[in-house]
Amino acid sequence: MAEANLPLQANAETPAEEKKGQSGSSAFTRVAKYTIVRVVTLFLTVIVSLYLTIIIANMGGYVDEIIKGSIREEIGQRFVADPALRNLPPEERMKQMEAMIALREHEKGLDQPIAVRNVNFLVNALTLDLGRARNMSSDTGSRLVKLILLERLPSTLVLFATANLINFFLAIFIALFLSRRYGSLLDKMTVTLSPLSSAPAWFYSLFLILIFAALLKWLPFGGMVDAPPPDTTIGYIGSLLKHMLLPILAWTTSVIFGAVYGWRTFFLIYSSEDYVEMAKAKGLSARDIERRYVLRPTLPNIITNFALLLIGLWTGAPIFETIFNWPGLGRTLVQAVGLYDTSVIVGGTVISAYLLAATVFLLDFIYALVDPRVKIGGESSKA
């Protein structure tokens, strides 16, 4: 085929140039078309899932019934307690009670049908107008959902970002190390221990609290800092680190073995490729082989996992946080469900929905950058 090309090269140049000119503009239109379609689709996805969450959070109007019931009870009690109101004639009292109930319901918007309220919720959520919580309030006393959620963010990040990042890089590092030593004792041990990851992190927390806090009394039972918190910054950081030790240990125990096993198997599959054999034959150092021939093809997968990890930070782990009494987002969201606080639930969900949509969208472009086989808008990106 090479010989056939050579004499044709002079002629081949012009069609090649034309093609290049064409492909230049067509690449742009391709990417642009794909981007627009993707953005619209993702947006629709966010809308539908948000709407579903809102419907479930309001349980088809059932929550409204609960709130109306509690309003009625509260006003009824007020009428019993207040002597001026109690002594009114029955019809007058009934009329006043109904008037007050109607006013309260109008305040909370309960006089509109649930379908309309759901759509209102949806529109507000999409524009990130998160509104006020019904029962919950932030530590500073505000009812703004935005503040309630933002307040929990630093403590969540401090714990989960640290734990997840440590685990992520540790797992990949150990997995790479193990993939070079296939069949060794360490390798076999890891494989045997990997089923430990079937238990969630909160499960191991129980054991670890039992050992380190109850029996050995080395580490605290839970909470974020000592009570009362130390005055100095160094003291505060020290106390924070001491309280972070058990949760991170529990998280690591649950996650690391399965993660190492997964990555190691993954790396082994890519290490058994022919070109890696050839690189070894060429005499490249192990580190070079790892970096160029093993890590590079697995990069899309690693990046995907990393991105999903970052999104997972937002959802947190409610039971884990409850057991350690850590003020995190997961626990807040679950508390909101228990308190029928729809605004907080919707607020949390919409932010994680947007984060997920944005990440999925960005990932498509990152794949194209990292993996030369992928073309945006082309057949192969539809996976």
Partner 1 sequence: MKALRNTFRQFGQYPSAVIGLAIVGLMLIISVYTLITIPYNEAIRLWRGGEDVWYKYPKNAQPEWINFFRKSPLPKTVFLSTKDSTADKESKTVTEDMTQVTVSFPIDFSYDSYPQELALYFTSKYTSKKPHITLSWETPDGRTVNLASFSVSADDTYRLSQDTKISRKFKGLPPMQGLFADPNAKLDGGVPPTIKGQYKLVVEATLFEKGGDVDVEMVLHGDVYGIAGTDHLRRDLKIALLWGLPLALIFGLLAALGTNVLTMIIAAIGVWFGGLVDEVIQRITEINLVLPFLPILIMIGTFYSRSIWVILGASIALSIFGGGIKAFRAIFLQVKESPYIEAARAYGAGSWRIVFLYLLPRIIPVLIPGLVSAIPTFVFLEASLAVLGLGDPVLPTWGKIVQDAQAHGALYQGHYYWVLEPSVLLMLTGLAFALVGFALDRIFNPRLRGL
How many residues make contact with partner 1 (CB under 8 A)? 56
CA distance 155 to 221: 17
Distance CA 381, CA 259 (A): 26
Subset of 15-54 contacting partner 1 (CB under 8 A): 41-42, 44-46, 48-50, 52-53
Minimum CB–partner distance for residue 192 and partner 1 (Å): 5
For residue 58, give both structure tokens.
């309001």
**Nearer Cβ to partner 1, position 75 or 148?**
148
Secondary structure letter of residue 210 according to DSSP: I
Residue from 96, 120, 124, 265 touching partner 1 (CB under 8 A): that is: 265
H helical segments located in 132-289: 145-156, 162-180, 185-193, 201-208, 233-271, 274-282, 286-289
Q: State yes or no: residue 216 binds partner 1 (CB under 8 A).
A: no
- Determine if 56 is a binding residue for partner 1 (CB under 8 A): yes
Q: How far is the CB of 198 from partner 1 (least distance, A)?
A: 4
**Residue 79 contacts partner 1 per CB under 8 A:** no
Distance of CA 371 to the CA centre of its chain: 25
Does position 83 bind partner 1 by CB under 8 A?
A: no
Contacts (Cβ under 8 Å, ≥6 apart) of 170: 252, 256
Nearest to 321 by CA among 313, 136, 171: 313
Site for partner 1 in 157-196 (CB under 8 A): 182, 191-192, 194-196
Q: Residue 74 to residues 68, 70, 85, 111: CA-CA distances in angstroms?
A: 10, 6, 14, 18
Name the site residues for partner 1 (rule: CB under 8 A): 41-42, 44-46, 48-50, 52-53, 56-57, 59, 62-63, 182, 191-192, 194-200, 202-203, 206-207, 209-210, 213-214, 221, 265, 268-269, 272, 315, 318-319, 322-323, 333-334, 337-338, 345, 348-349, 352-353, 356-357, 360, 383
